[in-house]
Amino acid sequence: MKRYFLLIIAITSFQIVSAQYTDIINSKRPGFSESPYSIGTNVYQAEADFFYRTSNNTSILGRPSSYGTDLFLRYGKFDEKLELNLNLTYQIDEVKNPFNSNYYIQGISDLTIGAKYLVYQQEFTDRSKEIKSWKKRTAFDFKRLVPSVGVYAGVHTNFFVNEFFLHRDSFINSNTFEDGMSYKGALLLQNDFNDRLVLLTNLIADKISSENSYYSYIVTMTYAVNQDWSFFIENQGKFKKTFSPEHQFGTGLAYLLSPNLQIDAAVRTNFFNNYSYVYASTGVSWRLDKHQDAIIYKNTPTKKMPTKSKKGFFKRLFGKKRN
């Protein structure tokens, strides 16, 4: 049972013990949602993928296809509850040209530096050791309905101004160019319904301080099938100022090759829109584990030494000696 529990960690980055570190890699992939838990102190982790997207969007400035790679770097330092991370995306887009043949743009489409912190961790009672009552041992713990809570803050930088950066917002406004940085904030929630089933909910405000700001949510349900395999289903919605809401549905699998290595694959599509959209990805997660558990000194019982009563000079001189 413990093995199943640790496998879910590999997909949704969670655990219910007091420390953030886990014996098995704690990966964000292959879903888009973020867990409130960090990877642990002195852990270096890289998560990368190759993705391909195709769409028959009839928009004049639509993009029929895109492909590229994501690199997500994570590092735990200073505190078990704190994680620092960096997300970099290199992307190649096909752009519609209503007057001539389509053309391609490429470059770094996103470079985000961020951090997350676990604000509240829900604790659960281990009922597996309950031997007096089968009912109590198998009863649902209603505390599991209260999620663990984390917060995320990030900055979208423009350190690498390139062709893709200049054109990335042209589908909204051809004159739009974000010449400054924008910000991202998120509330991260996690419900551990049992050792196999986990629900992640992210409430996100993105591109804050820019003309293209939007709000979104991501809800991910993950289930551990056996000791090595897990799968997830995910729903994502975006609410922008200038467009109708966008909704996506995704699913995928992850396989644990070793405690420090995971591979995955996922596919997602849209619904409630007037055009088709398919997004597919395959990825790998790897960590360099330099974590060391903190040494906790506990008070140990000490032998109580008898105290000597203070005696005056004459009592010490004439007191009776005991054999």
Question: What is the amino acid identity at position 290?
Answer: K
Give 238's contacts (C-beta < 8 A, 6+ positions apart): 214, 215, 216, 245, 246, 247
Do the beta carbons of residue 102 and residue 96 sit within 8 Å? yes
Give 27's contacts (C-beta < 8 A, 6+ positions apart): 10, 11, 13, 45, 47, 254, 262, 264, 285
Which residues of the chain, if any, have pLDDT below 50?
A: 2, 5, 9-19, 169-178, 296-298, 300-310, 313-317, 322-323
Q: Are strands 182-192 and 197-208 parallel, antiparallel or unpaired?
A: antiparallel
d(CA 301, CA 290): 33
Helix (H) or strand (E) holding 2: helix 2-12
Residue 104's pLDDT is 85
Q: How many CA atoms lie within 13 A of 214 on its CB side?
A: 14
pLDDT digits (tens, 9 = 90+) for 118-150: 999 988 776 666 666 666 666 777 788 899 999
Residue 142's pLDDT is 78
Do the beta carbons of residue 171 and residue 62 sit within 8 Å? yes
Domains of the chain: 2-318 (2.40.160.40)
Residue 218's pLDDT is 97
Give backbone dihedrals phi and psi of 144, rounded to 5 degrees, phi first.
-70, -15
